[in-house]
Structure 1
Amino acid sequence: MLGVNSPAPRAATIVRASAARSPSTAIAPGPARFVVLLAVLVCAACGLVYELALAALGGTLGGDPVVETSIVLSVMVFAMGVGALVAKPFVRRAAPAFLAAEILLAACGGMCATVLFAGFAWYDVYRWPMIAVAAVLGLLIGAEIPLLMTLVQRIRPQEAGSAVADLFAADYVGALVGGLLFPFLLLPHLGQLRTVVLAGMVNAIAGTLVVLWLFRADLPGRLRVGMYAAVGAVLALLAGTWLYTPAFERAARDALYDGDVVSAQGDVVVTHTAAGPEMYVAGERRVAAAGASESAQALVHPAMAGRHERVLVLGGGDGLALREVLRYAAVRDVVVVVAHVGETASARTDPALRALAGDAFADPRVRVVGADAFAWVRATAERFDVVVADLPGPAVGAAARLYTQEFYGLTRTVLRPAGRIVVRAPAPDAHPRAFWCAEAGLRAAGLRTLPYRITVGPADRGFLLAALVLAPGAVLRPADDAPDPAVVPFLAADRLAPASLFPPHEARVEMPPSTLNNPRIADYARE
C-alpha cells in the first residue's frame, strides 16, 4: 500500500510547492487526473501483492507463518515511512523520480520471490535476505505517495485535504484489489514466482503510462530515451524470468530434495533415491525411504485391537497407513480425508510409491475425500471404530490446529463407543515438549492415552493411542485377526511390548494442551 506512512501534513507542503507550476500533461486535466489516480490504484495493488507474496513465501520457507508475516509487515511499513521522507527532495522533479522508483520497484518486486527461493534452495538462507528485500520494497513503495501527490496537484491544484482523500481512496481500493486477487486468482493459477513477476510488469507499465505519456514534456530527449531503455530492459528481464520459471523450479527442487525429482504436482514432490521413493508435501518429508514401512506399521496396528469395521484415515495420502489398515479382512469401509489430492495421485500413479503402498487406493473398500481434516470432522455425521491421524507435523503452517484440544474433541465425536484414535506425534527424543503437549491435548479432550515410540535408524518416532475407555495399565497388543509378525515385524512380541516403555530422557513431561487460541505445540515442534 502507498499511504500507510504518509500523513496529511506533508501533503500541504507538496501542494504549495506544486501549485505554482502549470499543468503540462498530454491530455486534458480531468482525464489526466483520472489516469494518475488509476496508477495509484494499480501501484497499491502491486505493492500489496509483493507484501503478501513475501509473507506467503516466508510461511513456506521459514516454517512459522505468524513470525514471517510479522517481520515482513513491520519491516515494509517502517521502510515505507523512510521512503516517503527520502522522496521529499525529489518532488521538484516528480515525474522522472516516480518513473525511476517504478522501474526499480518492478525489477526488485518482480524478482524477489525467485531470488529468495534460490537462496533457500542452494544456500539454505532466507531470513536476512527476506528482511533486506522487504526493506527495499517498502522504501520504494513509500516513495510513491509524495511523488504521485505532486503529479496530481500539477494537473489540477486543490485543497490539501481533498487531494489526500482522493489519493488515499485510490490507494486503499488498490490494496483491496491486490489483496483479493492474490489468494483467489494469482497464487492458485500462477504460483508465487510468476505472481510477483506479473506484478512487476504491471508496475513498470503503470509508471511508463504516467510519465512517458502524460508528463513526457518533463523529460529531456536523452533522459526520455534512457527511461524507455530502462523500462524495456526491466520488462525483458521479467519476461525472461517468466519463461524460465518452470526450469528454475525444477533446478531448485533438484537442489533442495534428496534423489531425483520424478514428479511435482503443486505442493507434492516425489523423488527417487537409492533407498527407495520419498514424498514431500509443502516441503515436509512425508514418506522417507528409510523406515517408511516400520513407521506405518507402528501407527496403525495397535489401534486395530478391537472392532475395526469402519476406519477413518486423516491425512495419509501416501497410502502407507492405508496399506496396513487393509491387511485386516474385517475392515469393510475406509474413508481417507486428505487435503492435498495430489498426494493420493502420486501414490496411485508413481510406480515406486504405488508398489510401496501396495496399490492401496485401488481397493474398493476405500473412499477418498478431498477436504480439510478439521472442517470434515466437524461437519460429518459418520461414526468410526478407528481413527488414524497421519497428519503433517505441527511445525508446518496451519497444521498445528490439528494437534489441539479442540480438534481432538471433535475427533472424539466421530468415534463409536469402543472406538480408538491413534496419532502420529512429534518425535519424543527430538521434541519431547511437543510430544507430551499432543498427549495432553488428547487427555484434555476426555480421552485416555497410551503413548508409545519406536526407533528407526538414529531417531525415534512417536505415537499416541487414545480411547474413550482404556483400562489403567493397558499395554499394546495385536488384534485377534492381526497379520503374522513375519509380514508385519512390528507385531512381534519383542517389538510390540517395549514400544510403550520410554527411556529416562524421554520420560513424561507435564505440559498444557495446545489450543486454537494458543497453538503452543507449533513452537515446541520447532525447538
Structure 2
Amino acid sequence: MIEPQAPAPPGSAQSWDGRGGTGGDADSPVRLPVRQDTGRFLVLAGVFVCAACGLVYELELVALATYLMGDSVTQASVVLSVMVFAMGLGSLAAKRLRRHAAAGFGAVEATLALVGGCSAMALYAVFAWTGDWGGVWANGPRCLLVAFSLATGLLIGAEVPLLMELIQRIRRQDAGGAIADLSAADYVGALVGGLAFPFLLLPFLGQLTGALITGAVNAVVGGALVLGLFRQDLTRRARGLLVAANVCVLVILATAAVLVDDFERAARHAMYGPDVRVALQTDVQEVLLTGGRDGRPLNLFLDGRLRVSGRDELRYHEALVHPAMNGPHARVLVLGGGDGLAVREVLRHTGVHRVDVVELDAGVVRLARRDPALSALNAHALDDPRVRVTAADAFDWLRGAPATAYDVVVSDLPHPGITASTKLYSQEFYGLARRVLAPRGRLTVHGGAVASRPRDFWTVDATLRAAGLRTAAYRTRGRQAGFAAGPDRAPADTAHADRDWGFVLAARHVPAPRLDPSGPHPRTLTGATLAADARAAERTRVPGLPPSTLVHPRYAG
C-alpha cells in the first residue's frame, strides 16, 4: 500500500509521487493568474483555513456527543481515535487522485464542508427523535457519531496529499521542504481552530450554528482556491460541476442556519415535551425549565440531565439535608445547590446563622432567584439575608476556605460518573472538605443510585473513609416513574430510571443518620424510615473497593 521512495538530492526537481523529470500533465508547472510566490502563499493560507475548519469539526463532535451521551473521556476517545485512523485511510485513498489534484481537492472540500457542517445538526436530530427507541437502535446515536468521525477523518486525510501535489505544481522543491511548509500552515490553523471553538464559536454562535458557519467557510475557501488558482487544470465541465456543488452546499448550509432556531425548539420539544418554558446557554451549561405553571410540575434540566423534578425533589432534598442537621448547625456550607432547594431545607432549622453556597454556574443561581416557579419552589431561600452565594468551582474554593469553619457541609453535586464531577468525589476533595469541618461537624454527600450503581455508591463511601472520615450510608426511595430527578443522568424510560438516591453521612466521629428531635418535621422522612433506609443501604455494600483519586478515578461513566 505504501510505495517506497528514494530521497531526492536537495534542490532537485521531484514530484510528490517520487518520479523525477517533467513528464505528463501532473508534473508540468501550472499556469497561474498570480505570481508563483503569491500562489504558494494562497495555497498555504488555504491549508491554514482547512486545518482550522477540520479541528472545529472534531471538537464539535466531541462537545455535542459529550452533551448528548455523557462521559467526555469516552466520547473524546472514540472521536479522536476513529478520526485519526480515518485520516490515514484518506491519505492513502488520495494517492489515486493526484493526477487530478485540483478537481479532487475541490470535490473533497465541498463534501467535507457538507458533512462537517451538518454533522452536529444530524447527530442532535437522531438523538432527539430516535434516542428513546431502544431495541436495535439503542446505540443509534453512537453509531452515527462513529460514522461522522470516520467520514470527516477520511476527507481531512485526503487533503494533505492533494495540497502537496498542488503546491508542487506551482514551484518544485524537495519533498521535505514542501512537507515542512504544509505542516507549519496546518498546525497553526489547527491552533486557531482549537482556540476559536471554545472562545468564539461556542459562546457566541452555539454548537449548531458554529458548525454550519465553519462548513460555509470551508466550502468558500476550498472552492475559491481551486477555481481561482487552478482553473486551467479543470475542464469546462469540471468547473461547472464544482461551482454547482459548492453552490448547493452553501445553499444547504445557509438554509440550515436560517432554520436552526426552529430546529432547536422542535428538538427540545421532542426530548423534553412541549412545555419548555426557559432554554438558555450559560457560561457553563445548557439550562432548561419545563412545567411549573397551570398545575404542571416543574422540571430543571442541566445539559440534558434531569436535575430537579417537582414531583419528588422533596424526598431527595429532605434526605440529603436533615440527617446532617442533627447537632450544631449554626454555620452551613452548601457545595452546588444553585437551585436553592437544599438551602430551603437548611433554613427550616432554627439556629442557622449563616449559609455559604458555592455554585459553579451563576446562571442557575440567577434563574433560581428570578424564575417565578423555581423561586417559589425553593421558597426564595437564596434571597435570605443569612445566605451568601459564591460563583466558583467547589474544589478550588475549598482550597482557600478557612479551617474548621463549618458545622455542616452539604455536597449537592452531580453524579460522580459524570466526568466533570469526578474530581468532586475524590479523596483529595474530601480531604479539603474535612479540613473545613468543625470538630463535631458533619458532611453529607449524594452518592448516586444505590440499587443500580452500587459500586459507584460504595466507592464514594470508601473514598470518604480514605480521607480520614467515619461514614454511615443510607438511601431514600420513591421516585416517580419515568423521572430521573437529582444529579444522576438516566433515561426517561420507566424501566431504566433509577428508583432511589444514596447518601453518605461522614464525620470525624462515628455518625448516625438521625433526625434532629428539636428540628422541623420533614414531610417525607421519619426516624423509623431513615433507620430502615440505612439498613437497606448497608445490605448492598460492596466490600474492598479502593478510593477514587484525582489521578485514578474509580467511577463508571
- The reply to whether TM is greater than 0.5 is yes
Q: CA deviation at 1:507?
A: 3.8
- After TM superposition, the score normalised by the length of structure 2 is 0.88
On the 8 A contact 2:16/2:168 being kept in 1, the answer is no
On the 8 A contact 2:416/2:425 being kept in 1, the answer is yes
Q: Deviations over 1:38-95 (max 9, x none)?
A: 1011111111111111112222222221111111111111111111111112111111
Correspondent of 1:476 among 513, 517, 541: 513
On the 8 A contact 2:476/2:502 being kept in 1, the answer is yes
Q: Could you say if the C-alpha distance between residues 6 and 463 of structure 1 is closer, same or farther in structure 2, counting changes exceeding 3 Å?
A: farther
On the 8 A contact 1:54/1:113 being kept in 2, the answer is yes
* Letter of the 1:44 counterpart: A
Q: CA deviation at 1:217?
A: 1.7
Q: Determine the C-alpha separation between the residues in 2 that align with 1:416 and 1:311.
A: 11
For residues 362-377 of structure 1, the aligned pairs below 5 Å read 362-377=383-398
* Letter of the 2:545 counterpart: M
Q: 1:257 maps to which residue?
A: 272
Q: 2:300 maps to which residue?
A: 279
Q: 2:500 maps to which residue?
A: 460
Q: Determine the C-alpha separation between the residues in 1 that align with 2:388 and 2:5.
A: 60
Q: CA deviation at 1:150?
A: 0.9
For residues 210-221 of structure 1, the aligned pairs below 5 Å read 210-221=225-236
* Letter of the 2:35 counterpart: A
Q: 2:289 maps to which residue?
A: 270
Q: Could you say if the C-alpha distance between residues 14 and 135 of structure 1 is closer, same or farther in structure 2, counting changes exceeding 3 Å?
A: farther
On the 8 A contact 1:281/1:343 being kept in 2, the answer is no
Q: Could you say if the C-alpha distance between residues 18 and 423 of structure 1 is closer, same or farther in structure 2, counting changes exceeding 3 Å?
A: farther
On the 8 A contact 1:432/1:509 being kept in 2, the answer is no
On the 8 A contact 2:474/2:537 being kept in 1, the answer is no
Q: Determine the C-alpha separation between the residues in 1 that align with 2:272 and 2:399.
A: 35
Q: 1:324 maps to which residue?
A: 345
Matched, 1:157 2:179: no
On the 8 A contact 2:338/2:364 being kept in 1, the answer is yes
Correspondent of 1:236 among 237, 242, 251: 251
On the 8 A contact 1:429/1:505 being kept in 2, the answer is no
* SS of equivalent to 1:27: coil
Q: Could you say if the C-alpha distance between residues 14 and 100 of structure 1 is closer, same or farther in structure 2, counting changes exceeding 3 Å?
A: farther
Q: CA deviation at 1:12?
A: 3.9
Q: CA deviation at 1:105?
A: 0.3
Q: Determine the C-alpha separation between the residues in 1 that align with 2:224 and 2:236.
A: 17
Q: CA deviation at 1:18?
A: 7.2
Q: Could you say if the C-alpha distance between residues 330 and 7 of structure 1 is closer, same or farther in structure 2, counting changes exceeding 3 Å?
A: farther
Correspondent of 2:55 among 48, 54, 61: 48
On the 8 A contact 1:106/1:234 being kept in 2, the answer is yes
Q: Determine the C-alpha separation between the residues in 2 that align with 1:19 and 1:100.
A: 18
Correspondent of 1:13 among 17, 34, 44: 17
Correspondent of 2:530 among 493, 496, 499: 496
* SS of equivalent to 2:298: strand
On the 8 A contact 2:450/2:537 being kept in 1, the answer is no
On the 8 A contact 2:457/2:502 being kept in 1, the answer is yes
* SS of equivalent to 2:64: helix
Q: Could you say if the C-alpha distance between residues 15 and 410 of structure 1 is closer, same or farther in structure 2, counting changes exceeding 3 Å?
A: farther
* SS of equivalent to 1:87: helix
Q: 1:99 maps to which residue?
A: 106
Q: 2:161 maps to which residue?
A: 146
Q: Determine the C-alpha separation between the residues in 2 that align with 1:8 and 1:117.
A: 45
- After TM superposition, the score normalised by the length of structure 1 is 0.93
Q: Determine the C-alpha separation between the residues in 1 that align with 2:279 and 2:350.
A: 34
Q: Determine the C-alpha separation between the residues in 2 that align with 1:24 and 1:89.
A: 23
Q: CA deviation at 1:151?
A: 0.8
Q: CA deviation at 1:341?
A: 2.0
On the 8 A contact 1:208/1:231 being kept in 2, the answer is yes
* Letter of the 2:185 counterpart: A
Q: Deviations over 1:200-248 (max 9, x none)?
A: 1111111122111111122233332332222122112112222222221
Matched, 1:424 2:424: no
Q: CA deviation at 1:314?
A: 0.8
Structure 2 segments unaligned to the other structure (5+ residues): 8-14, 132-139, 482-498
Q: Could you say if the C-alpha distance between residues 296 and 268 of structure 1 is closer, same or farther in structure 2, counting changes exceeding 3 Å?
A: same
Matched, 1:510 2:544: yes
Matched, 1:198 2:213: yes
Structure (1 or 2) with the greater helix fraction: 1
Structure 1 segments unaligned to the other structure (5+ residues): none
Q: Determine the C-alpha separation between the residues in 1 that align with 2:259 and 2:279.
A: 17
Matched, 1:439 2:461: yes
Q: Could you say if the C-alpha distance between residues 18 and 147 of structure 1 is closer, same or farther in structure 2, counting changes exceeding 3 Å?
A: farther
Q: CA deviation at 1:15?
A: 7.0
Higher mean C-alpha deviation, range 32-41 or range 490-499 = 490-499
* SS of equivalent to 2:547: coil
On the 8 A contact 2:30/2:233 being kept in 1, the answer is no
Q: Determine the C-alpha separation between the residues in 2 that align with 1:414 and 1:504.
A: 28
Q: 1:127 maps to which residue?
A: 142
Correspondent of 1:167 among 182, 186, 192: 182
Q: CA deviation at 1:496?
A: 3.2
Q: Could you say if the C-alpha distance between residues 370 and 477 of structure 1 is closer, same or farther in structure 2, counting changes exceeding 3 Å?
A: same
Correspondent of 1:83 among 68, 90, 95: 90
What is the identity percentage for the equivalent residue pairs of Structure 1 and Structure 2? Answer: 49
Q: 2:359 maps to which residue?
A: 338
Q: CA deviation at 1:439?
A: 0.5
Q: CA deviation at 1:478?
A: 2.4
Q: Determine the C-alpha separation between the residues in 2 that align with 1:338 and 1:282.
A: 16
On the 8 A contact 1:40/1:167 being kept in 2, the answer is yes
Q: Determine the C-alpha separation between the residues in 1 that align with 2:60 and 2:379.
A: 39
Q: Determine the C-alpha separation between the residues in 2 that align with 1:7 and 1:314.
A: 61
How many residue pairs get matched?
513
Q: Determine the C-alpha separation between the residues in 1 that align with 2:468 and 2:312.
A: 32
Matched, 1:74 2:81: yes
On the 8 A contact 1:437/1:512 being kept in 2, the answer is yes
* Letter of the 1:269 counterpart: L
Q: Deviations over 1:450-471 (max 9, x none)?
A: 111111147221111111122x
